Amino acid sequence: MLVEVRNLSKTHQSPGGGAPVDILKGLDFELEPGGTAAILGPSGAGKSTLLNILAALDYADSGTVRVAGLDPAVLRGNELVEFRRRTVGMIFQMHHLLPQCSVIENVLAPSLADRRQARVNAETLARELLDWLGLAHRLDHRPSELSGGERQRVAVARALSGAPRLLLADEPTGALDRANAQQLSGLLLELNRARKVALLVVTHSRELAGKMEQVWELQDGKLVKAS
């Protein structure tokens, strides 16, 4: 399995000092290499918390989490940097691009500290991805000069610039109009097929969810099959 989650529990402290809130309560999940899955569920259900744990941006309180055989919670220093680039990539509802940097600079930012040959390889892959995402003519534009759909596609290129095995997408089409949402959904699936990158997509869109091999719903701290 590429992703294996067993009996995962997570409690968030209340910001106001109130009682802690159990968000994930013994959740199980698996995803095969190259597989696709959607997670549906109401706002506040814990969907982002789960993705953040898989991306080593947050940690579980108990249970087992493995991504490509690694426990994200124990990675430190360079291992953590490498994990976030070469094992998982992540995109969000908002693009989080650097406003002062061009498209190509944004996509190459994660590889700036690489050695020379790795940097050359990263640049080749970045140009290939941007070309493939229909952005070859936008390389020197700043994010403010792009449409919402184009910005989100740049975020996809950046997330995939380290050739990760898993793309985590947290409501990736939530801020897009219908046409751009459909285009992005189609591109994510083509990337899955062409590059064998596994997809785990949190979405409120039944249409996007329906394109994934597995559809799950996050209910009362657990994942249940929705279809």
Ligand X SMILES: Nc1ncnc2c1ncn2[C@@H]1O[C@H](COP(=O)(O)OP(=O)(O)O)[C@@H](O)[C@H]1O
Binding site for Mg ion (CB under 5 A): 48
Q: Which is nearer to ligand X, 59 or 113 (CB)?
A: 59
Contact pattern for ligand X over residues 3 through 32, marking x by CB under 6 A: ---------xx-x-------x---------
Q: Half-sphere exposure of 141 toward its Cβ, with a 13 Å CA cutoff? A: 13
State the number of binding residues for ligand X (CB under 6 A). 12
Strand 222-225 and strand 88-91: the pairing is unpaired
Is the backbone of residue 70 left (phi > 0), alpha (psi -120 to 50) or beta? beta
Residue 44 partner contact from ligand X, Mg ion, none using kind-dependent CB cut-offs of 5 to 8 Å: ligand X
Tell me how far apart the alpha carbons of residues 93 and 133 are, in angstroms, rounded to a whole number. 18
Contacts of ligand X in 162-191 (CB under 6 A): none
SS3 for 152? Answer: helix
| Binding span for ligand X by CB under 6 A among 42-50, 100-108, 118-126, 152-160 | 42-50
SS3 for 194? Answer: helix
Pull the structure tokens for residue 190. 């083509």
Q: Is 56 in the site for ligand X (CB under 6 A)?
A: no
Binding test (CB under 6 A) with ligand X, winner from 41, 72, 162, 164: 41
Pull the structure tokens for residue 141. 């534009």
Binding test (CB under 6 A) with ligand X, winner from 43, 78, 117, 144: 43
How far apart are the two ends of the chain, measured CA to CA in Å? 21
> In one letter, which amino acid is 185?
S
Closest approach of Cβ 34 to ligand X, in Å?
Answer: 25
Closest approach of Cβ 191 to ligand X, in Å?
Answer: 23
Q: Which is nearer to ligand X, 145 or 220 (CB)?
A: 220
Residue 46 partner contact from Mg ion, ligand X, none using kind-dependent CB cut-offs of 5 to 8 Å: ligand X
> In one letter, which amino acid is 222?
K
Q: Which is nearer to ligand X, 23 or 209 (CB)?
A: 23
Vertex 156: Cα angle to 151 and 162 (nearest 5): 135
* Interface residues toward ligand X, by CB under 6 A: 12-13, 15, 23, 41, 43-49
